[in-house]
Chains A and B, each alone.
Chain A
Amino acid sequence: AANCIKGDRKAPYTIGWANIYSVPTWMKQTQGTIEAEVETLKKQGLVDKLVVTDAQGDANVQIQQIQSMIDSDVDAIILIAGSSTAPARVLADACAKGIAIINFDSLVDTDKVTAKVNTDSSQWGDQAAKFLIDAIGGKGKILILNGPAGVSVSDDRRKGADAELKAHPDVKILAETNTPYNVAPAQEAVTSLLFANPEIDGILSLGGALSAGAVLALDKQGREQVPITGENARQFLELWKEKGLKSWATMQPNWLGAFATYVAVQALEGKDVPAFVKIPLPVIDNSNIDQYLARAADFPADGYIYSPYDQALFEKLLAGK
């Protein structure tokens, strides 16, 4: 059986969804995929209840809420962690109780979980750097935009870019910034950076809202757009098309939530699930951006246009193919 699973839990299961912060749009979309999946599983008689907590961004509160989930004896916990280290011990307790734990998106450094499900942040940084260096012809001056400091995901993406950057000494990093994954602060920072640095050849952005902010900053100053990396934020994809950007984007698909739910139930049902399910990074480039934009209306304006998913995809991913 899978890690943590003792086989003493019977369907229908109660699933606990330990969210770190439910207000941002990405989270809201993710929650939507989880709820849809739960509905499906309910019909199959596998799940009877979804319990949702919101730690309001506080990793300490999240620990307390996971503890409450253990106390109320949920069968599975799916989790986006508020800290890559903090929940480790409480998760070990949950694991010892035979609770299936599926950790996705923001991962915890622990092996006391049933499975972790995520794209590879380091690969994200690596591929983004490759694209950008390529796009600027192997040399030039660039800016690096990254998410908040002190957080593993942003740090991993940044570290992933290191090898490529080191390999190209002609690529000069003018400045790096850390801002929340939001448009306005990124736009502010890039505006100041543009004034301070008259020559910029490219922008290595490690988050979609950051890219949108950068494009808006260039646009507002009447500067020519430069090659930029990004993410599947609807606003960024629309700007990409509108401004004819030279760009590349990947994504953290919102259906990770649905998939985590699916994996939890599979594990509880006795399936052997791998300890780490690596989700291949979907790539958006000029070849397929129109397909994404065609579906744009189905997504919130400040949301993320994620790639399509279905049961078959889940089974394929779980089988490790």
Chain B
Amino acid sequence: MNANETATGKRATAILRSRPFLTVAIVIAVWIGASFASPGFGAYGHLRYLIELAAVIGLVAAGQTFVVIAGGIDLSVAAIVTVSAVGLPMLSWQADPTGLTAILAVLAMTTAIGLVNGLGVALLRVHPMIMTLAMATFLQGLLIIIAGGSAVTAENLLVKWLGNARPAGIPAGILLWLAISAIMLVAMHATSFGARVFALGANPLAASLSGVPVSATTMAVYGISGFTSGLAGVLVLGMNGQGYVGIGDPYLLASIAAVVLGGTSILGGLGTYAGSIPGAILLVTITALITVVNASAGWRSILFGSLILGLLLLSGRESARR
């Protein structure tokens, strides 16, 4: 009885001290502070909009979190988002009025791009940074060919629905994010696959000697990253009504920042997507905050950096490794 109580107490303090929780607390504190300064900022509609924006970053960060935990990094996510958002309208063929087939086709393509990344990292032993940077470069070349050619307005019902519908008052994008988050968290923390990813990132040599299928796991995480980036591209297309070259650009740094702000170690092996979720929300919140501040571009940039640094000081101690 007594022992049970202390165990619960221990778990409670562990949760209270955890990075994801701290990040959530910081987000809420920033929201409260900002709505005192500018009442409109804290309006329900605005916060909902911020979360909708965070959904895109959050989707990209889902794959990125997997990759980073596995000890890699994916620099091709921005290009994949763009390829998805620009490529999808070209696939909207008449036969399927819902548009689902086109979405599935695009997601299959972006997942395949991710798998190629994984192939390069696992089999060619190319450093993830180099492999994914090169992939991003390839995709830029591809974009010169495909972009601007035909109309790229989204005539896809499902895409439009995703970008604009609000079932039960909640934007469909947020619902999509919630669903993907649940799947990702389960895959990460409640399956053997997730455990393999952590093992791979913490010590690839030991993981391999313990029988972890290293190549397959590596390919899978990059495949997931391609998939979630592709999904983010679909969502962002729906929200904007139109895809354009460069639409994915903001999501590279944002996804990495969300992952590390959420407490995942960039060295791999430690972390959780549960941190990247508030990390993404924190990021859009700070961006919105500096947007409404009336100051010169230089000062706004300084303010942005200082906020990140300040929040990091509150939450970001790294424990020693090795």
Chain A contacts to B: CB under 8 angstroms: 22-25, 28-29, 56, 149-150, 173-178, 180, 182-185, 187-189, 191-198, 209, 216, 221, 235, 300-303
Contacts and interface: CB of A to CB of B under 8 A. Distances in A.
A-B interface, 5 closest residue pairs, ranked by CB to CB distance from nearest? A149-B297, A302-B244, A195-B46, A192-B288, A196-B292
Nearest to B56: A184
A242 to B, nearest CB: 11
Given A191-B49, A216-B241, A178 B147 contact: no
17 contacts: A23-B143, A23-B144, A150-B297, A174-B294, A175-B291, A175-B294, A183-B242, A184-B239, A184-B247, A191-B46, A191-B49, A192-B288, A193-B292, A195-B40, A196-B38, A196-B292, A302-B242
Contact of B40 (A176, A187, A196): A196
A300 B298 contact: no
Interface in B185-241: 236, 239-241
Nearest to B164: A220
Contacts of A196: 38, 40-41, 292
B294 A235 contact: no
Nearest to A177: B291
A300 to B, nearest CB: 4
B153 interface: yes
Contact of B240 (A150, A184, A192, A221): A184
Nearest to B85: A184
B40 to A, nearest CB: 4
Contacts of A195: 40-41, 43, 45-46, 49
A183 B38 contact: no
Interface residues of B, number: 42
B120 interface: no
Given A180-B249, A185-B250, A301-B153, A192 B41 contact: yes
A132 to B, nearest CB: 18
A184 B40 CA distance: 21
Contacts of B249: 180, 182
Given A149-B301, A183-B244, A302-B147, 4 more contacts: A192-B288, A195-B45, A216-B241, A300-B152
Nearest to A197: B40
Contacts of A23: 140, 143-144, 147, 245-246
A22 B245 CA distance: 11
B53 interface: yes
Contacts of A302: 147-148, 152, 242-245
Contacts of A184: 236, 239-240, 247, 250
